[in-house]
Amino acid sequence: MILDNIDGVLAEVLSLNGALAASVIDWKSGMTLGMKNNSNFDIELASAGNSEVVKAKMATMRSLGLHGAIDDILITLTDQLHIIKMVPSAPELCVYLALDANKANLALARNKLQTIIK
């Protein structure tokens, strides 16, 4: 389970080309359980903000009567990619990854997250 090896999971995620920073977040409480940085990216502030993104999406799904689960949320910026990957074995957790869009491969990053997070 991810909680048993947060540092290992984050180190593996940050080995991706273009990885700026990553964290494990309890999106319900907004608490960051672990974070690592490859740059001066403010992962603590970004993690708190992105827990609100997950909360908003969950509320919208409830309002629409949708019963499926979120797999991941992708936010594309001009020069960055942000992936919020839900942890199926711990539904209150997600892994947040910020990538440099000019250096990263989105398909490889999503695949790596899928492989690591179970």
The domains found in the chain, sorted by start residue, are 2-116 (3.30.450.30)
pLDDT, tens digit only, all 118 positions of the chain:
687 899 999 999 999 999 999 999 999 999 999 999 999 999 999 999 999 999 999 999 999 999 999 999 999 999 999 999 999 999 999 999 999 999 999 999 999 999 998 7
Looking at residue 4, its pLDDT comes to 84
**Contact partners, residue 54, CB within 8 Å, separation at least 6:** 25, 27, 70, 73, 84, 86, 94
What pLDDT score was predicted for residue 15?
96
Q: Following CA atoms 87, 24, 72, 113 in sequence, which dihedral angle do they give, to the nearest 10 degrees?
A: -80
pLDDT of 88 reads: 93
Separation in Å, CA 92 to CA 24, 96, 103, 105, 113:
10, 13, 30, 27, 17
Q: Which residues pair with 32 in a beta bridge?
A: 25
Which residues touch 96 (CB under 8 Å, ≥6 apart)?
22, 23, 24, 25, 43, 46, 47, 50, 82, 83, 84, 85
What pLDDT is attached to residue 118? 74
